[in-house]
Amino acid sequence: MLLLTIALALDWFIGEPDVLWRRVPHPVVLFGKVIDWFDEKRDDQTLADRFRLSPDRLAFWMGIVLLAALLTISILISSFVQFLYWPFGWLLELAIVTILVAQKSLKDHVQDVADALKRDGVEGGRKAVSMIVGRDVSQLDESGVSKAAVESLAENASDGVVAPVLWYALAGLPGIIFYKAVNTADSMIGHRNERYEYFGKAAARLDDVMNWPAARLTALLVAGVVAVRDGIASAGRLLSITARDAPSHRSPNAGWPETAFAVALGLALGGPRRYGDDFVSAPQLNVEGRGLLSVVDVSAALGLFSRLCFALIGLCGLLALVG
């Protein structure tokens, strides 16, 4: 836990060194190359003929094999680091954990949206928020851009920060590497469309399972931040509304951090949105909140995220001392 605490502090204050990624590939890029290779191979008709499988069944089983390959890679990397552990392995492990937790990069990307809205107006905000969301942003006004940024911040606080921390705490280096690999696979192929319905199904389901505890833990952390700021009663109200509204979200996990952020900030999030040609009629989260957002709300969400990250670093540090 001490190494994890140091890694979180390094990531928050320093972040990922861009100069390094100009010389060596980022771990997520490596995972992407593996996923792309399997994506190409599952179109190989000779494999379908050899195993007497339909294209859909071949795609499904290739998705299973992909996850097995990602798990094997995670274990091999961890074994190599363990082999080097003295005197340099712990430094390499510290670097890997720091790289795979996305506190500063997430904060910076959402801050870019706030800065673009202030500097360039709605057009600048649309361009900046399109870098972090998958929805169609072309028709969004300032409120829509702000809402998209806050929702992305909330969801990624769970997926990009709390989940990798949790999996490192539970399963060490193999846990955080494999989680990041599965999360990358879900973002690349976990889509319900003609190409990825079968190939990405296993990755999407496993990502849901691995993010299940982190999403609920994120809501608890937000409640803890609110308890310190506004008192126990406010935290209890936040948890009550989160438990009421989060299950209505189309994702089994994203509704928990999004609703928690919505209540903590006094906002109504969710609602209808467009992804490409698909229009999603989603329910609102925390309907009691204010539905019209502005850049001020993005800044407030960033402040909440900062306090959440400090709480997480403090919790890991406390567990390190107790341990």
Q: How far apart are CA 258 and CA 271, in angstroms?
A: 12
- Between CA 241 and CA 300, with CA 111 as vertex, the angle to 5 degrees is 35
Q: Which domain holds residue 173?
A: 2-322
pLDDT above 70: percentage of residues in the chain: 94
Using alpha carbons only, give the angle 59, 60, 61 rounded to the nearest 5 degrees. Answer: 95
**Separation between Cα atoms, residue 165 and residue 11, nearest integer Å:** 12
How high does pLDDT run on average in the chain? 92
Residues 126 and 139: their CA atoms lie apart, in Å, by 9
100 — pLDDT class (breaks 50, 70, 90)? very high
Pick from 308, 212, 292, 306: which is nearest to 260 by CA?
308
* Mean pLDDT for the stretch of residues 96-118: 95
For residue 200, give the DSSP letter: T
Going by the DSSP 8-state scheme, the letter that residue 89 receives in this structure is I
- Which letter does DSSP use for residue 190 in this model? -
- Report the percent of the chain where pLDDT is more than 90: 75
Residue 195: per-residue pLDDT? 85
- The pLDDT, as a whole number, for residue 21 is 57
What single string gives the DSSP state of each residue in 203-267? HHHHHHHHHHHHHHHHHHHHHHHHHHHH-HHHHHHHHHHHHHHGGGSSSTTTHHHHHHHHHHHTB
CA distance 146 to 155: 14
pLDDT value of position 20? 57
3-state SS of 121-184?
HHHHHHHHHCCCCCCCCCCCCHHHHHHHHHHHHHHHHHHHHHHHHHHHHHHHHHHHHHHHHHHH
Instruction: Give the pLDDT confidence score for residue 254 in this predicted structure.
Output: 96
pLDDT in tens, 193-233: 888 999 999 999 999 999 999 999 999 999 999 999 999 99
Residue 314 CB contacts under 8 Å (≥ 6 apart), including other chains: none
CA distance 100 to 95: 9
Instruction: Answer yes or no: are the C-beta atoms of 158 and 221 closer than 8 Å.
Output: no
pLDDT of res. 23: 62
List pLDDT tens digits, range 41-58.
877 777 767 777 788 888
Task: Please report which confidence band the pLDDT of residue 282 belongs to, taking 50, 70 and 90 as the band edges.
Answer: confident
Provide the CB-side half-sphere exposure for 145 (13 A, CA): 30
Please count the residues of the chain. 323
Separation in Å, CA 287 to CA 246, 263, 304:
12, 9, 20
- In this model, does residue 298 exceed pLDDT 90? yes
Specify the pLDDT at position 277.
60
Domain count, the chain: 1
Mean pLDDT, residues 155-163 taken together = 97
Q: How far apart are CA 237 and CA 54, in angstroms?
A: 51
Kind and range of the H or E run holding 31 = helix 27-41
Instruction: Give the pLDDT confidence of 115-137 residue by residue, as tens digits.
Output: 999 999 999 999 999 999 988 89
Tell me the pLDDT band of 274, cut-offs 50, 70 and 90: low
Higher pLDDT, 203 or 40: 203
pLDDT at 317: 96
At residue 115's C-alpha, the angle toward residues 135 and 122, to 5°, is 50
**Residue with more model confidence, 179 or 192:** 179
